[in-house]
Amino acid sequence: MYRFGIAGIPLGSKGRTVKDAVENTFQLGLNYLEIQLFRISTQEREMRDFVGLKPKELDEMLLVDLLRSDEDGKYKSVGLNTVIEEDDVGTELFWSMARDYKEINLARDVAKELDVKISLHTPYYVDFSNEERMIVDSIQHTIWGGVIADALDSEYLITHLGLASAQRKKSLTTTASSLKQISDKMNSLRLKPKLCVENSGKNEVLGSDEEIDFLLGKVKNISAITNVSHIYSSRKNSPTEQEEFADIIKETKKKKRPLYFEFSGVEFLDQNEYRITPIKKGNLKFEPFADALADFDDEITLISFSPLLEHDALYMKVIFERSILKKIGKTVKPIPQ
């Protein structure tokens, strides 16, 4: 089965909640939504007014962690499935797409009913290898993203890796350590979404093919999704032919990674990625990729992250359907007269 979707809220959506985005995605004829965990903030608050309740039972409050003092007076996480006690402190997350778990649960149920699958992308500003405060915050934000993704019954929790320092190997080792902390914490919280890193298209950002291989070899229980536009940028205007796209799909299958591909147009300036564009205006063409995809019978997800979001997702769907019909036309033998 092939699924087509978008990264973000549909441009034509009047509502801005997760439920609105799911419903609008379905109404457009799409069946995948990559939710963006952007424009968030947090605060810690005393929980004595909510003693006896569980964090996910609270109205108009989205807790992503519950902290409790130990014998030494240090506050440690006790998870969201714990009944609140008087001296507990909650970490409240403010997010424009959902106010509490009731709204998240409703969006999850609507998505299941409409057969719209969900993934969640962490904030783009995460950085797992440079300034210490930023590393700590990025790890924490990613774990919180995992909590929300789990509540939404998401398939994947997707993250970028952040900037590379002048000591690139050191950056990569530190990033591996950060991802291990996240993976271990998600495992201890029994969060179901698979943590996936995304490849980069710029040299100053971690996430080349070799770096992704290194990280997946060092950290258990994580995987990677494939941003085709970033591959095109990092390889300086390649792939362009159907065979080259087919090789990318085959390699992804060989490495047992999700067949989850992000796509958009790309413009270059001085042989470097300049900006992401609508597909029709960029250098990267979708038609040969669609022809390559038509030769595979696997479950594949295609996500538009172009500035035209749903318009380009529907464009990809139309082009892909043409590729399928073209393939069928080649295999059907004419009826003898």
- Helix or strand holding residue 244 (H, E): helix 242-254
Among candidate residues 113, 106, 95, 102, the one with its CA nearest the CA of residue 39: 95
Contact yes or no for 21/97 (Cβ under 8 A): yes
pLDDT in tens, 58-117: 999 999 999 999 988 999 999 999 999 999 999 999 999 999 999 999 999 999 999 999
Pairing of strands 63-69, 32-36: unpaired
Provide the terminal-to-terminal Cα distance of the chain, rounded to the nearest Å: 36
Counts for the chain of helices (H) and strands (E), in that order: 9, 14
Among candidate residues 116, 92, 136, the one with its CA nearest the CA of residue 19: 116
User: What's the residue count for the chain?
Assistant: 337
Q: Report how far residue 143's alpha carbon sits from residue 314's, in angstroms, rounded to the nearest whole number.
A: 32
Burial 134-150 (b: 16+ CB within 10 A, else e): bbebbbbbbbbbbbbbb
- Tell me the Cα Rg of the chain: 21
Q: 153 is written with which tokens? A: 């019954």
**In the chain, pLDDT over 90 holds for what percent of residues?**
84
Contact yes or no for 211/171 (Cβ under 8 A): no
pTM: 0.93
Residues of the chain predicted below pLDDT 50: none
Among candidate residues 105, 110, 114, the one with its CA nearest the CA of residue 29: 114
Domains of the chain: 2-39+101-329 (3.20.20.150), 40-95 (no CATH)
**Amino acid 201: pLDDT:** 87
